[in-house]
């Protein structure tokens, strides 16, 4: 029988393999009901200092462990998560709002990532070798790493920061989003039984904790996923102590659909990649450029598919694809974007709606029909279930428009002619470009072109 997680009780932050209570607690809200969830700790500066001191003390012995020992502990951690996956998936849907099916996918991906990280040994590279000398390039661990985790993928992006830090010999402090602290705290509780003290620690806090982390002189590197605006603050804060940082920020990914595609085959993938997780994924398709010769057919079929297959509701309901928007702040931002439909007289292929009549933060998908290129829905990332369809006539025009924004996280090209698709993809200014719906694999490097 699989072990059970107590998903309702949070006795403290995970510091040096102990549960450390705090003077103050807080709770997050279930986005499907707008009702309070469970009380969690609010870290103090003293808690952060204690965690950093423990991480620094643990760094040397951890970094000197053989790669195989670190890998085996990461694999053991993955096994522990898998043994409790039903509880994690229930808790993830409760705190984040995503459908249970997507919570299962997130858990699957997190396990794949951890097990992949356990194979990723970065070996020394011989640059020069002759009778007189050997010159190596090495990649030593740098010390204490911190991960600031967003609210859209708390498990996946939590382990996505933890795994690379640990396998390369660093110690790690995780800060969950105040909106979604629960799963990450439970990850920390599992880690207490697997890793040596100080190697993995989890601190839940309020909005003060992030700046304390980025400014702390005892932290050597910060990995942050979140908005462009907050990313700028993180970069400026890290600069005060000249610590390294990795930022994974907003996206406004373009999909270019060529005239030769099999619409019935590619459209379900494109539609799902527009509305998955209620549009709250940085690398979702946010702009769909469709060749003018197939535009009307594609638009009408996308509307029909969305009406028939993309159900909105609580994540625990059967066949739901679009759960609630995760929090009130984001709900209001998406509502504001929806208000522009009428204010700017955008033509809609599918109007969508904002669920003001029920508890929770529900918004149904909207499809905007060929809005102006300078409109907000094209220029800004909505981070909600709303997507514009746009016409293009020639490749140069489509590529120039796809490249016109400040963001360059991802993109996709859809064509039966893979040579053509690759040629177009090489001109797109995006960190990762999919051809005809191919998926990223665990060992593929991923990053943004710009912000």
Q: Which helix (H) or strand (E) holds 414?
A: strand 410-414
**106 token code pair:** 């997130």
248 in catalytic set: yes
pLDDT tens per residue, range 47-60: 999 999 999 999 99
Q: Where in the chain is the domain with CATH 3.40.309.10?
A: 253-435
d(CA 35, CA 60): 44
- Look at residues 199, 197, 198, 194 and name the one whose alpha carbon lies nearest to residue 75: 194
pLDDT tens per residue, range 291-320: 999 999 999 999 999 999 999 999 999 999
Whether 215 shows a pLDDT value over 60: the answer reads yes
pLDDT tens per residue, range 350-361: 999 997 657 899
User: Is the separation of the CB atoms in 167 and 120 below 8 Å?
Assistant: yes
- Look at residues 51, 100, 115, 109 and name the one whose alpha carbon lies nearest to residue 314: 100
- Look at residues 147, 142, 138, 149 and name the one whose alpha carbon lies nearest to residue 56: 142
Catalytic residue among 248, 317, 356, 429: 248
d(CA 399, CA 396): 5
CATH of 253-435, one of 3.90.25.10, 1.10.357.10, 3.40.50.2300, 3.40.309.10: 3.40.309.10
**44 token code pair:** 């103090």
Give the count of alpha carbons within 13 A of 25, CB side only.
15
pLDDT tier at 450 (50, 70, 90 boundaries)? low
This prediction's pTM: 0.94
Alpha helices in 276-392 (DSSP H): 295-309, 328-343, 376-379
d(CA 87, CA 4): 7
pLDDT tens per residue, range 357-381: 578 999 999 999 999 999 999 999 9
d(CA 68, CA 70): 6
Residue 279: which residues within 8 A CB-CB, separation 6 or more?
334, 382, 383, 384, 385, 386, 387
Vertex 153: Cα angle to 337 and 289 (nearest 5)? 45
- 265 Cα distance to chain centroid: 27
User: Is the separation of the CB atoms in 353 and 364 below 8 Å?
Assistant: yes
Q: Which helix (H) or strand (E) holds 364?
A: strand 363-364
pLDDT tier at 41 (50, 70, 90 boundaries)? very high
Whether 262 shows a pLDDT value over 80: the answer reads yes
Q: Where in the chain is the domain with CATH 3.40.605.10?
A: 13-127+139-248
Q: What is the number of residues in the chain?
A: 451
Q: Tell me the fold of 13-127+139-248.
A: Aldehyde Dehydrogenase; Chain A, domain 1 (3.40.605)
d(CA 448, CA 225): 12
pLDDT of residue 406: 87
Question: What is the bridge-based pairing of β-strands 348-350 and 366-369?
Answer: antiparallel
User: Is the separation of the CB atoms in 438 and 425 below 8 Å?
Assistant: no
């Amino acid at each position: 029988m699989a072990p059970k997680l107590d998903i309702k009780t949070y006795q403290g932050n995970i510091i040096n393999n102990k549960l450390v209570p705090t003077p103050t607690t807080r709770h997050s809200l279930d986005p499907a009901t707008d009702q309070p969830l469970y009380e969690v700790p609010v870290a103090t500066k003293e808690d952060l200092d204690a965690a950093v001191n423990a991480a620094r003390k643990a760094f040397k012995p951890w970094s000197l462990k053989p790669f195989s020992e670190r890998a085996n502990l990461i694999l053991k951690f993955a096994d522990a998560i898998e043994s409790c996956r039903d509880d994690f998936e229930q808790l993830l849907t409760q705190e984040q709002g995503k459908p249970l099916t997507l919570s299962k996918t997130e858990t699957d991906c997190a396990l794949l990532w951890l097990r992949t990280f356990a194979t990723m040994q970065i070996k020394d590279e011989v640059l020069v070798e002759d009778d007189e000398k050997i010159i190596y390039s090495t990649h030593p661990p740098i010390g204490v790493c911190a991960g600031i985790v967003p609210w859209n993928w708390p498990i996946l992006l939590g382990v996505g920061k933890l795994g690379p830090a640990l396998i390369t010999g660093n110690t790690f402090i995780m800060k969950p989003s105040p909106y979604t602290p629960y799963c990450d705290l439970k990850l920390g509780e599992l880690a207490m039984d697997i890793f040596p003290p100080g190697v993995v620690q989890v601190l839940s806090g309020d909005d003060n904790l992030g700046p304390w982390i980025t400014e702390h002189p005892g932290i050597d590197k910060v990995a942050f996923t979140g908005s462009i605006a907050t990313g700028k603050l993180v970069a400026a804060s890290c600069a005060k102590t000249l610590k390294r940082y990795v930022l994974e920020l907003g996206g406004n990914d373009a999909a270019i659909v060529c005239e030769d595609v099999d619409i019935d085959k590619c459209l379900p993938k494109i539609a799902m990649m527009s509305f998955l997780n209620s549009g709250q994924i940085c690398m979702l398709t946010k702009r769909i450029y469709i060749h003018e010769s197939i535009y009307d057919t594609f638009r009408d079929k996308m509307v029909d598919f969305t009406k028939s297959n993309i159900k909105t509701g609580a994540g625990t309901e059967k066949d739901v694809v679009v759960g609630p928007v995760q929090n009130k702040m984001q709900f209001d931002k998406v509502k504001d974007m929806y208000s522009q439909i009428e204010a700017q007289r955008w033509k809609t292929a599918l109007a969508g709606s904002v669920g003001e009549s029920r508890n929770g933060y529900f918004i149904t998908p909207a499809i905007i029909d060929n809005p102006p290129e300078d409109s907000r829905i094209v220029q800004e990332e909505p981070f909600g279930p709303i997507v514009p369809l746009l016409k293009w006539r020639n490749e140069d025009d489509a590529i120039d428009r796809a490249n016109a924004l400040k963001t360059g996280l991802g993109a996709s090209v859809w064509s039966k002619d893979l040579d053509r698709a690759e040629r177009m993809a090489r001109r797109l200014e995006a960190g990762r470009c999919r051809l005809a719906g191919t998926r990223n694999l665990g060992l593929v490097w991923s990053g943004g072109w710009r912000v």
